[in-house]
C-alpha cells in the first residue's frame, strides 16, 4: 500500500447558517448554501491549496451537504480538470442536529451540550459526536482500501465540517475524549495538513487551537 503524501482536511466556507441561525427553522441543515463571503473563502482556499500540492494529483472526498459541495466547486477553480477526482462520501457529513428548529431551540441545544459534554451529548432525533466517531471509523476502511489502488493520487483533500474534522483527527491520532474536547473548532475554510514521514506515518503540521471545555465533568477530578 502506497499512502498519499498528504491528507488535508478543509472545513466548508461561511454558510447561511453561520450568518443567520434562524434559517434552520426554514431549511434543512444539508441544504444550507454558502454565503457570498463563503464563496470567496472557498476560492481563496483553493489558491492556498494549489500552492501546497502544486501539479500533483488529488482525490477529493466530499460531504454531500450543499455547503461542502459549493466549497469544493470554489476550490477546484484553482486546479486543472485532469488533476483531480471527486467522490461524495455521506459518512463524513455534519453531525445530525435533528429536524427543523428555531433559534431558541438552537440556544437550548448549545447550552445542554456544553453542560453535558460535547462528545457524549446526543441531540434528540440527531447524533452525538460519539456517533460521528463510529461512522468516520467506518470510512477509514474505505480510505485504506482506496490507498491500495493502482495510481491512487498523491494527495487527499477531505472537504467536510468542523466537528467532523476534529473527530477524524481524534480517530487518527488516538486522542482521548478530553483531548478532543479541548481542540477548538476550525474556522470557515481553515484547513489542516497531515504529511507522510519517512516511516510512512503522518504528522499533523498545522497548529491546533485550543479552548477550555465548559462542562465540569473532567476525569480525575475528585477521583482517588
Quote the cell numbers at residue 166.
476534529
Q: Is 94 a catalytic site residue?
A: yes
Q: How many CB atoms neighbour CB 46 within 10 A?
A: 22
In the block, residue with C-alpha cell 474536547: 181
* Catalytic residue (choose from 41, 89, 94, 181): 94
Q: Is 161 a catalytic site residue?
A: no
* Catalytic residue (choose from 12, 65, 161, 181): 12
Nearest one of 51, 93, 70 to 13, comparing CA atoms: 70
d(CA 141, CA 139): 5
Longest dimension (CA), the chain: 60
Nearest one of 200, 209, 192, 165 to 8, comparing CA atoms: 192
d(CA 14, CA 42): 9
User: Catalytic residue positions?
Assistant: 12, 94
Amino acid at each position: 500500500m502506497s499512502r498519499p503524501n498528504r491528507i488535508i482536511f478543509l472545513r466548508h466556507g461561511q454558510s447561511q447558517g453561520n450568518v443567520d441561525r434562524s434559517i434552520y427553522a426554514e431549511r434543512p441543515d444539508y441544504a444550507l448554501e454558502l454565503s457570498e463571503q463563503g464563496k470567496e473563502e472557498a476560492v481563496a482556499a483553493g489558491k492556498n491549496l494549489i500552492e501546497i500540492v502544486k501539479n500533483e494529483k488529488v482525490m477529493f472526498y466530499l460531504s454531500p451537504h450543499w455547503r461542502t459541495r459549493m466549497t469544493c466547486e470554489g476550490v477546484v477553480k484553482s486546479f486543472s480538470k485532469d488533476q483531480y477526482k471527486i467522490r461524495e462520501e455521506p459518512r463524513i457529513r455534519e453531525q445530525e442536529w435533528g429536524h427543523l428548529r428555531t433559534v431558541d431551540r438552537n440556544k437550548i441545544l448549545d447550552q445542554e451540550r456544553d453542560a453535558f459534554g460535547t462528545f457524549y451529548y446526543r441531540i434528540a432525533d440527531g447524533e452525538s459526536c460519539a456517533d460521528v466517531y463510529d461512522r468516520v471509523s467506518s470510512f477509514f476502511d474505505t480510505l485504506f482500501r482506496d490507498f491500495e489502488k493502482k495510481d491512487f493520487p498523491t494527495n487527499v483533500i477531505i472537504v467536510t465540517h468542523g466537528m467532523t474534522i476534529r473527530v477524524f483527527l481524534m480517530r487518527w491520532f488516538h486522542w482521548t475524549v478530553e483531548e478532543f474536547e479541548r481542540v477548538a473548532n476550525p474556522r470557515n475554510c481553515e484547513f489542516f495538513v497531515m504529511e507522510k514521514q519517512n516511516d510512512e506515518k503522518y504528522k499533523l503540521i498545522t497548529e491546533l487551537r485550543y479552548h477550555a471545555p465548559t462542562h465540569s465533568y473532567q476525569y480525575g477530578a475528585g477521583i482517588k
